[in-house]
């Protein structure tokens, strides 16, 4: 038998009929939320069809929900209707929905893993770009459009063109002050936002093996920002330990049988990728974006590049447009950039480890008087755990707002958004024009960097602070 990559093994396990000219995949898990599902359900009714496997479909509300007092409801008429439609559609078609006040509610890409819905070897789809997050568990996970959502609802299958494979091998030890967010931003900076187009990226190497599951999720979450169809990481003992005893994870003998199958999900020794990229992180510095896409990124101790010195004319033109929108100039030192807001949250960095790291930086400090700072847990499970550990009090004492779960300021689809001209250090995944609000200016950073920025009022090199990652973790969990 020919050696295969991790992707090829999962892909071939889900082909309905390998002889078909158009590959058709069986879908193991379909996640839906309030923004992209209403159109799909409407189309389903128009076609006179029903949901084929409601037991494999799970819904949550996250994009439009308020993160302040939930008892006041949703003020925006369209957002309120979308949430209502999701609840009504799920009730009609027999789909479990974790709505606004459900104890399991949260961002779709956070609740999937924490509930044990996400497991190795599955095909997972959702009407959301950052479905790639689930690939950290060795699943094939990617975002789909409304018509594709309808197809999955009606058939539990999805026609797909087979992508190419890329191995991004990450080696070395993460330096002090550097996180998986910095690593993936640096990779996107090297590859560009189209470097992964047409590929499934498998992240391998010693650095990845040493990462926690939450760090791996951050890496896979942002694979889409390099243009990739998705990101994947082979499951290992860390994966199995993370999933053990989760609500939907297999139990008893079924667990033992599942682990035996999951242990087969790795790239064979002689398997061939279509492309390979090797990254060494030993000398990596914390990363910050300066422009309007995640590939326009540099180290915190550097300056914004001179546009005339960029590789080609298209890059130069894009950089000039980005700097005009951002209100910045070439050669400005990153550490000289002043801020208005700081956002710690999103499906990229709103898990318990992210909050622990940020709280360790914030502890015994105060938010700068000119800064509005928000911490938004990724789910009610994360929120309850953080409060049990006292993280909420660390943030509140320092001057942060401690919010209810939701996508929040990651995107301007709820009451949390930037005003025209406001500048934000954000732990989210996109810094597009208007992403966090019309005219808003976004700098993508790690949770530690965001926490430091809130305290100083400007982009700050976290390596200059007196801390170690281990001390941060010990302080916040003790």
Sequence-distant (≥ 6) Cβ neighbours of residue 154 within 8 angstroms: 44, 47, 49, 50, 51, 52
Nearest alpha-carbon partner for 443 in 277, 238, 271, 299? 299
Q: What is the CA radius of gyration of the chain?
A: 22
The CATH number of domain 164-233+266-280 is 3.40.1060.10? yes
Contacts 24+ apart (CB under 8 A), 117-121: 117/29, 117/31, 117/58, 117/248, 118/29, 119/243, 119/249, 119/250, 119/258, 119/262, 120/235, 120/239, 120/262, 120/265, 121/9, 121/10, 121/13, 121/235, 121/261, 121/262, 121/265
Strand pairing class (140-143; 123-126): parallel
Chain centroid to CA 405: 15
CA–CA dist 96, 143 (Å, integer) = 20
**Residue 471 confidence (pLDDT):** 46
Kindly state the average pLDDT of the residues 46-73.
Answer: 95
Sequence-distant (≥ 6) Cβ neighbours of residue 167 within 8 angstroms: 201, 202, 204, 267, 273, 275, 276, 277
Question: 3-class SS at 165?
Answer: strand
Phi and psi at residue 140, to the nearest 5°: -100, 105
Sequence-distant (≥ 6) Cβ neighbours of residue 11 within 8 angstroms: 25, 140, 162
Kindly state the average pLDDT of the residues 268-289.
Answer: 98
Do the Cβ atoms of 353 and 211 come closer than 8 Å? no
Do the Cβ atoms of 124 and 139 come closer than 8 Å? yes
What residue numbers does the annotated binding site cover? 347, 407, 410
**Residue 71 confidence (pLDDT):** 84
pLDDT band of 15, cuts 50, 70, 90: very high
Q: Looking at the predicted structure, is the pLDDT value of residue 474 above 50?
A: no
Do the Cβ atoms of 288 and 295 come closer than 8 Å? no
pLDDT band of 464, cuts 50, 70, 90: confident
What sign results for the dihedral spanned by CA atoms 191, 194, 195, 199?
Answer: positive
Residues 430-463: pLDDT tens digits?
Answer: 999 999 999 999 999 999 999 999 999 999 999 9
What residue numbers does the annotated binding site for [4Fe-4S] cluster cover? 347, 407, 410
List the domain boundaries for the chain. Answer: 6-162+237-259, 164-233+266-280, 288-477
Residues 170-204: pLDDT tens digits?
Answer: 999 999 999 999 999 999 999 999 999 999 999 99
pLDDT band of 467, cuts 50, 70, 90: low
Kindly state the average pLDDT of the residues 38-63.
Answer: 96
CA–CA dist 230, 143 (Å, integer) = 8
Q: Looking at the predicted structure, is the pLDDT value of residue 69 above 80?
A: yes
Q: Do domains 6-162+237-259 and 288-477 have the same CATH topology?
A: yes
Q: Which of 270-274, 382-386, 462-466 has the lowest mean pLDDT?
A: 462-466
> Which helix (H) or strand (E) segment is 154 a member of?
helix 146-155
Phi and psi at residue 353, to the nearest 5°: -65, -40
CATH class of 288-477: alpha beta
Q: Looking at the predicted structure, is the pLDDT value of residue 473 above 60?
A: no
Q: Looking at the predicted structure, is the pLDDT value of residue 472 above 60?
A: no
CA–CA dist 448, 395 (Å, integer) = 13
CATH of 6-162+237-259 among 3.30.499.10, 3.40.50.880, 3.40.50.10470, 1.10.287.90 = 3.30.499.10
Residues 120-168: pLDDT tens digits?
Answer: 999 999 999 999 999 999 999 999 999 999 999 999 999 999 999 999 9
Return the percentage of the chain with pLDDT > 90, whole number: 92
The mean predicted confidence, pLDDT, of the chain is: 95
Q: Looking at the predicted structure, is the pLDDT value of residue 352 above 70?
A: yes
Q: Looking at the predicted structure, is the pLDDT value of residue 249 above 60?
A: yes
**Residue 309 confidence (pLDDT):** 86
Helices 469-477, 352-362: axis angle to 10 degrees equals 100
Write down the residue that tokens 């894009």 correspond to.
318
**Residue 312 confidence (pLDDT):** 86
């Amino acid at each position: 038998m020919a050696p295969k990559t991790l992707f090829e093994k999962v892909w071939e396990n889900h082909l309905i009929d390998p002889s078909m000219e158009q590959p058709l995949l069986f879908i193991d898990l379909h996640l839906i939320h309030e923004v992209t599902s209403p159109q799909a359900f409407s189309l389903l009714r128009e076609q006179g069809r029903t949901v084929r496997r409601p037991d494999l479909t799970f819904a949550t509300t996250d994009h439009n929900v308020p993160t302040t007092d939930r008892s006041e409801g949703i003020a925006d008429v369209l957002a309120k209707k979308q949430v209502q439609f999701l609840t009504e559609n799920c009730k009609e078609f027999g789909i479990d929905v974790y709505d606004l006040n459900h104890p399991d509610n949260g961002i779709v890409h956070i609740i999937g893993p924490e509930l044990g819905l996400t497991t190795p070897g599955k095909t997972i789809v959702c009407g959301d770009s950052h479905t790639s997050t689930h690939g950290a568990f060795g699943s094939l996970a990617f975002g789909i459009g409304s018509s594709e959502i309808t197809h999955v609802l009606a058939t539990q299958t999805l026609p797909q063109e087979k992508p190419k494979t890329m191995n991004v091998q990450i080696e070395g030890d993460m330096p002090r002050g550097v996180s998986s967010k910095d690593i993936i931003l640096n990779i996107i900076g090297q590859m560009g936002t189209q470097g992964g187009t047409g590929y499934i990226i498998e992240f391998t190497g010693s650095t990845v093996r040493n990462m926690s599951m939450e760090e791996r999720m951050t890496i896979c979450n942002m694979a889409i920002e390099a243009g990739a169809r998705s990101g994947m990481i082979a499951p290992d003992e860390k994966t199995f330990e993370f999933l053990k005893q989760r609500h939907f994870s297999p139990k008893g003998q079924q667990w033992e049988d599942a682990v035996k199958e999951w242990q087969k999900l790795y790239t064979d020794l002689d398997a061939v990728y279509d492309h390979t990229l090797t990254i060494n992180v030993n000398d990596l510095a914390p990363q910050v974006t300066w422009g309007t896409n995640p590939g326009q990124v540099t180290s915190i101790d550097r300056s914004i590049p001179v546009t005339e010195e960029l590789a080609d004319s298209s890059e130069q033109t894009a950089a000039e447009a980005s700097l005009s929108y951002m209100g910045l100039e070439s050669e400005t030192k990153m550490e000289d950039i002043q801020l208005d807001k700081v956002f710690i949250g999103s499906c990229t960095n709103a898990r318990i480890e992210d909050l622990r790291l940020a709280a360790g930086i914030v502890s015994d400090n105060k938010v700068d008087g000119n800064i509005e700072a928000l911490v938004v847990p990724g789910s009610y499970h994360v929120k309850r755990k953080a409060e049990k550990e006292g993280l909420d009090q660390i943030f509140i004492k320092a001057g942060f707002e401690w919010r209810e779960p939701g996508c929040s300021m990651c995107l301007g689809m709820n009451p949390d958004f930037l005003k025209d001209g406001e500048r934000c250090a954000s732990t989210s995944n996109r810094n597009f024009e208007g992403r966090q609000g019309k005219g808003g200016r976004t700098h993508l950073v790690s949770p530690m960097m965001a926490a430091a920025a809130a305290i100083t009022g400007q982009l700050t090199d976290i390596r200059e602070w007196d801390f170690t990652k281990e001390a941060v973790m010990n302080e916040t969990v003790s």
